[in-house]
A and B are shown apart, each in its own frame.
Chain A
């Protein structure tokens, strides 16, 4: 069945350091991988996404990498800031058929001052 596993569940890093969150997916038909950030009590917000025809994508301090062979994808946040503290969800979706997004269980990122 479709499944997305996410690690770690909690992550604490010093302000200014980098944070890495890793995910694996089971459905080989997945070809769209969004990352959402959810602050306490707020809605999930898309921060970056990647499609299967691309191995890496970067947007300022955020980058995602995708290894389709291994079914792994990762989120990298550099030069972390206090406002990066939130829960981050990776997700996977088939493009051609079902539109549902399968989410990972989330990583609670805390930035230590």
Chain B
């Protein structure tokens, strides 16, 4: 499978615990995005990277959330001191670099990590 992959697919944790999710984008895609999706809603933007640089963060991304993409390939999203309101599907997406360094419009989504905080 050469698409975007995410690990784990499901995570159940107790309130107050820390969790970390991983996203592997499509090979050589230079932009990587994190979204959060709650039941019955569309995905909400959290943050994105161009190569290893984190270029934008949503106000939804509180101090308990941190994302990294240290080598410009895979990315991790960590949530510290989880709260029940953090329960959601966390989606990762990537988009390609086109000729001339322009990023492609299309964002390709991974299968998501479903987080349940008890």
**Which A residues fall within an 8 A CB radius of B?**
4, 6, 32, 34, 36, 42-46, 49, 51, 89, 91, 93, 95, 98-106
Contact = CB atoms under 8 A, between A and B. Distances in A.
Contact of A100 (B58, B91, B103): B58
16 contacts: A6-B42, A32-B105, A36-B109, A43-B4, A43-B111, A45-B109, A46-B106, A46-B108, A89-B42, A93-B105, A95-B105, A99-B48, A99-B55, A100-B58, A103-B44, A104-B42
B25 interface: no
A43 B31 contact: no
A98 B56 contact: yes
Rank and list the top 9 A-B pairs by shortest CB-CB distance, nearest first: A103-B42, A100-B45, A43-B109, A44-B109, A89-B42, A43-B111, A103-B43, A32-B105, A106-B42
Contacts of A34: 105-107
A49 B106 CA distance: 9
Which applies to chain A's interface (DSSP): helix, strand, loop or mixed?
A: strand
A98 B110 CA distance: 21
Contacts of B110: 43
Contacts of B44: 103
Interface in B32-69: 33, 40-45, 48, 50, 55-56, 58
A103 B35 CA distance: 10
